[in-house]
Every structure is written in structure tokens, then in C-alpha cells.
Chain A
Amino acid sequence: MSLLSVRNLSVSFATSAGVFKAVDSVDIKVDKGEILSIVGESGSGKSVSMLAVMGLLPWTATVTADEMIFDGHDLSMLSARQRRHIVGKDLAMIFQEPMSSLNPCFTVGWQIKEALRLHLGLDRRARHARAVELFELVGIPAPEKRLSAFPHQLSGGMNQRVMIAMAISCNPKLLIADEPTTALDVTIQAQILDLLTGLREETGMGLVLITHDMGVVAETAERVSVQYAGQKIEEQPVASLFRAPHHPYTAALLDALPERATDKRLPTIPGVVPGQFDRPAGCLFSPRCKYADDKCRAKPPPPLGGDLGYARCFYPLNTDERAAS
């Protein structure tokens, strides 16, 4: 049985201009000890879908799902009290903006020890020892000193590491990392990614890595799910996704990477991600797709089979790969 199983998740927001569908029937499945990466551009709904799993969306959001099961608990049926026992302990998240996610009124040491006290019930001395150990683990120099620092006294990268230490403090079964290394330098990023993959090896933790950095995906993930405008448009194991993407959007995204360029001019994707008011009737990518025809513009393509990466496309690319893989 998988650790996290979400079927047909949709999230819509009631805005003053009407209902905005941020996540549109997305399936997510993570096994124990697996690294799933969710990639997509900003506004593709990758963070919102994970916040919905955590139950952290504001009241303006309407979350519907056929199934939302984490480690045997049905997340949609839990009371707020029951949910608090799971979230932060077995199901933890590293948030994107460390500066606004930490409480400016308390020292980082107080904040990390709060989780240890509430979830693990450690005594004062054990909490302190564990906090120092965690800070060392994420590569914070002089941890004893840093515990009594306030978030504004630390740099962005340092705060990000505090967030990571906090998320892994209770040895979660599933860690959701939302752009965990975006604010960090590459050498620190390498340290953190090694730490996260190492934890998975040690504790069998599942990891959901939300990112837009294709390099990080290629080096860390095992399975990749590509989101576009709220929909999951493709899902494949990492090697075959980079070798043979089936959805034209994935292919275009990979081509746009500077390191894959052969020419001084990079291939680009014309147009922008559709917003609330210009959502096309058919395939969401059809206005920007070079293969689109009238059929694509008229009706939304259903997801294809697993051998074609569940691509939502009428004309998937690299279909001859099917025989090979």
C-alpha cells in the first residue's frame, strides 16, 4: 500500500471574480521511501495541491478528492485535532519562503523545540540536544549559538536550513519539500539534497520534491509528475521522462533549458500559462502547442495509459519508445 494516495484532487478558490480552479483532478501516489518530484512553472498548482494534502489552505479554498489517504488515515475525514497529531510529525513540509514562514517573535531554537515538545514529548535537556543535533545535520555552523538567534538575524539560506531542520525533527514518514533549495547556493543545495536522500535511505521516508529546477529533478527524483495550469499532464520515471517526454509541454520545457541548447538562441514556448479568464475549452496547452489542431482546441484530451506517461495529449510524442521501454 502506498504511503500517500490522492485521487482526483481538485482545489478551487472563491475569488471576487468567480471561481478559480487552481488544481484540476490531480492524482498523487507516493510509496514508502520513494522520491516523487512535481515540476511545473509558477501558477501550475504544484504548491496548492500539496498544501491541500497538508490541510493548510485558507477557508476560501474548496478541496474535493475521491480519495486522500495518508498512512492509513483518511485525511478528508480527520478532525482538526486529529490532523494536528499527524501534520508536523508524520507528514511534514518544508515551505518555500523561509523568511515569512518562521515566526519573527521567537528564536529559531524555541520554534524547533516547540515541535519536539508537542509531538515527541521530550524533556528540556533532550530537546536541546536534539535541536543542536538537527542544526548540525543541516549544516548550520555554531548550532549552540544559532539556537538563540531570531529569524531576522539569520540569512535566507540559514533560515531555510532552520525550516528543513524543523521539518525533519520528528522523523516524518512523508516529507513534502516545496522548493527547498531555491534560496540556497549550489554547494549548500548539494549538501541539503544529499541530506534528504540520506534520510530516506535511513528512515524510509517518502519525499515529495516540488521544484522548477530540472537539474535538481534529474539528480534527485525517481518519478516525475509534470503539472501545467493545475493539471497533471504527464508522469514518468525520471530517466524516461528526460529521454522521451510524451507531452509536447514537457518536451518544450526540456528544450528550453540552456544546457541542452545547441544554438545561441534557445527554443522558447510562445504565449503564457492560461489564467482564470482565458482557460481554453480543449487542451490547456493547445494555444502554445506547435502540434495543436482543431481537435485539441475543441475538447480536452483524457490522460493516456501508463505506458505513455498518463500524458494528457491526443498526439503524444516519442511513441515508438513504447516498444523499447
Chain B
Amino acid sequence: MTAPVMTATALARHYEVGGGMFAKPQTLRAVARVDFDLYAGKTLAVVGESGCGKSTLARMITMIEEPTAGSLTLDGQPVVRARWPKLRQDVQIVFQDPYGSLNPRQRVGTILMEPLAINRRDMKKAAREEKAREMLGLVGLRPEHFDRYPHMFSGGQRQRIAIARALMLDPKVLVLDEPVSALDVSIQSAILNLLVDLQERMGLAYLFISHDLSVVRHVADEIIVMYLGKAVERGPKADVFAAPRHPYTKALLSATPQADPAARKERIKLVGELPSPLDVPPGCPFAPRCWKVQDICRETRPELDLPAHAAACFFPLKPGENATDAVLSEEDFNTESLPQTD
């Protein structure tokens, strides 16, 4: 197997929050010890609910924020703050909201040439423009769009512009932070196709952050499921979807609506909310909401087990195991019995 483009080892990011003149600041563990490898031409998807640390992960990989602990390597070289300016050119990001991520006062051409103007100072202006026009064609926009302003475009076209801008410096890694969740279905499919084309053509490694499992199922090669800053399951797409091993993954899959009215399936209803990341339970973070929870789960934190398809769980699900085998019956899932989580 080829060497990974980017490797993260035990990556973590903590924030100090609160605190005052006398109060001690608390530590918020946004991301705790996450490992992954990104390969050229492959897509790693990170899924999880809001507050699970997906976006913090993206900010560390794109070198917007420094990890508190752990290490990151790009092409075998360690990513350290001193070398950020150089390495950042290889890691680019596309944001979720194409309305907020483009400067309304710049023409599309200027937006596309700006990365070159900053990072390729020796490049002639004509060469920059030529490259920007070429990129415009590559993402499926027309040459006359070069001189227009972002407000003249639809959401899907704006996302194409954002993708074009991210590719101007020929990055090796592209971080896609919910790139299609603000788009309509018919536009979404076109953008997903574009991303597939670009990946094949340029050999990009994608880190695809999403909460939409049906999109992830389509684009991903490998999946990391995150819960409260921790990776709870990691494995190849087919395995994770066919036989989820962590109860949280199973619940997430069962809660995702399927566009097929005939498919009657059991839905695992999770009770309660994500615990506050300021006050993560000492054991498994999912223990308060889990239906398989036992004493050991509340006391000891499980780590990812097998290398191929890993789950951080003491009692991983076996293939074909149903949640209804669990001890809790339907009555126990009443909303009245919601545990107070804060």
C-alpha cells in the first residue's frame, strides 16, 4: 500500500473555558486522541452529531489551530507551527455555507487568483489568470463567469467557485466541511459528481465531514464515527454500514431516514442528549445513552480495538444483532423518563 499523504496520531485539542478572577478555568476536550491516515485518491469521512468535534478536527488539519497534543504529518514531514505557511498550501478547505465563504465585493476571477497572488509571488499576472480560467472550466463554470460577482450565482455554482478556489494551489488534501448540506438534492448530486471527478483527475485525498449518512455512504472509502470528541468506530465504509460494531453507530444508522417507504425497520431511540463536553463521563462517553451499558462502561474508558474495523466498546455488536435483544423495552424509551443531562 502506498504511504499516506497525511497521518494523525493521537490528535487532541482542548480549550480552556470560563474561569474568572477566582474561578479555575475548565478544560473542554473538543477532540481527544484521534488517529487516522489519509491516502491520495481516497476519501475519509468523519461523521457525528453537532458538538462531536468534527469541525475542530478540520481546523487542526488545515492548520488553523494547533493541536494541544498528538502529532500530524504531511507527506512524512511533521506539521509544526514554524512550517505552517508552507504546508498550508497543500491542505485546503471547502466550507459548508457557500453564501458566507465568498467575498461579495470580489469578482470570481479575483477570488480564484488571490491564493496565487499571495503564495506564488513570482508568477506573472497573465499566468495566474490563465490558471484561474482553466480551473473555472474544470469545476463546470463558463468562461463568462470570470468577471461576475458571487451574488449572481446560485448556491450550487457558489460551491463550485469555493471548490475551484481551494484547488488553485494544487493541494494534496482537501477538507470538505459539510460541502453539500446547504444544497438541494439535484444540485447536491452534481457537486458530489464534481468532487468524484476532481479526485480521480488530481489524486486528491479528501477528508469529508458530514452528518448526512446517505451522502457519506456514497462518497466515503473509510469512515470515522465521532462522539464527544472521540472516535468510537473506524473502518471501511462497507463494513461500518453493513455491520456497525459500536452501539452509537448502530443508533445513528437507524435514525437516518431512508428514502424508501417500503423499508420498515426498527428505530433505536436514543434518550437524552449529548453530555456537555465540559463534563464528559469518566467511562465510555456514550454510556449514559447506551442500551447495552454495564458497570465497566461507566468506570473505564474503552479504546479502539481491532485495527481493520475498530470500535471503542467493551460489548461491540455482532453482525446481525438487534437492538431489540437489549434489556430495555419500548416503555423505557418514553420521553418522560428523559435523564437530566446537565
Question: A residues near B, CB below 8 A?
Answer: 41-42, 136-137, 139, 141-142, 155, 157, 185-191, 193-195, 212-220, 238-239, 242-243, 252-254, 256-261, 264-269, 272
Contact = CB atoms under 8 A, between A and B. Distances in A.
A242 B50 CA distance: 30
B340 A142 contact: yes
A194 to B, nearest CB: 7
A125 B340 CA distance: 23
B122 interface: no
Interface in B183-204: 184-190, 192-193, 196
A155 B218 CA distance: 30
Contact of A185 (B49, B155, B338): B49
Interface stretch (B8-16, B252-260, B298-306): B252-260
A267 B189 contact: yes
The interface residues of chain A, by DSSP majority, are classed as helix
B154 interface: yes
B220 to A, nearest CB: 11
Contact of B261 (A141, A193, A218): A218
Contact of A266 (B154, B193, B255, B272): B193
Contacts of B257: 186, 189-190, 193, 213, 215-216, 218-220
B335 A195 contact: yes
14 contacts: A41-B187, A137-B335, A141-B342, A185-B49, A190-B267, A191-B269, A212-B185, A214-B259, A258-B218, A258-B219, A259-B217, A264-B196, A266-B190, A268-B186
Contacts of A265: 193, 196
Interface pairs A-B: 8 shortest CB-CB: A215-B257, A258-B218, A266-B189, A185-B49, A214-B259, A256-B189, A41-B184, A190-B255
Contacts of B2: none
A264 B259 CA distance: 18
A186 B258 contact: no
A157 B50 CA distance: 9
A321 B136 CA distance: 44
Contacts of B215: 258
A186 B258 CA distance: 12
Given A141-B273, A190-B267, A266-B218, A242 B256 contact: no
Contact of B340 (A141, A187, A267): A141
Contacts, number: 125
B294 interface: no
Contact of A186 (B192, B255, B341): B255
Contact of A42 (B184, B213, B259): B184
Contact of A215 (B259, B335, B338, B341): B259
B335 A259 contact: no
Contacts of B269: 190-191, 194
A266 B214 CA distance: 13
Nearest to A265: B193
Contacts of B219: 258
Interface in B222-275: 251-252, 255-263, 267, 269-270, 272-273
Given A137-B335, A266-B192, A217 B259 contact: yes
Contacts of A220: 257
A184 to B, nearest CB: 9
Given A186-B252, A257-B214, 7 more contacts: A157-B50, A185-B211, A187-B49, A218-B261, A219-B257, A256-B188, A272-B154
Query: In the complex, which range does the number of interface residues on chain B fall in?
Result: 35 or more
Nearest to B218: A258
Contacts of B214: 215, 257-259
B336 interface: yes
Nearest to A41: B184
A127 to B, nearest CB: 20
Interface in B135-188: 154-155, 184-188
Contact of A268 (B193, B213, B260): B193
B256 A215 contact: yes
Given A187-B252, A256-B188, A258-B192, A142 B259 contact: no
B83 to A, nearest CB: 35
B335 A254 contact: no
Contacts of A259: 214, 217-218, 258-259
Contacts of B211: 185-186
Contacts of B49: 185-188
A258 B262 contact: no
Nearest to B157: A272
Given A216-B257, A252-B186, A267-B189, A187 B217 contact: no
A42 B155 CA distance: 10
Contacts of B155: 42
Contacts of A189: 255, 257
B258 A268 contact: no
Given A187-B255, A190-B267, A217-B259, A141 B272 contact: yes
Nearest to A44: B184
B258 A218 contact: yes
B193 A187 contact: no
B48 to A, nearest CB: 9
Nearest to B47: A186
Contacts of B336: 136
B252 A139 contact: no
Contacts of B272: 141
Nearest to A243: B262
A218 B259 contact: yes
A214 B189 CA distance: 14
Nearest to B256: A186
B223 to A, nearest CB: 14
B136 to A, nearest CB: 18
A219 B335 contact: no
A213 B261 CA distance: 13
A110 B283 CA distance: 39
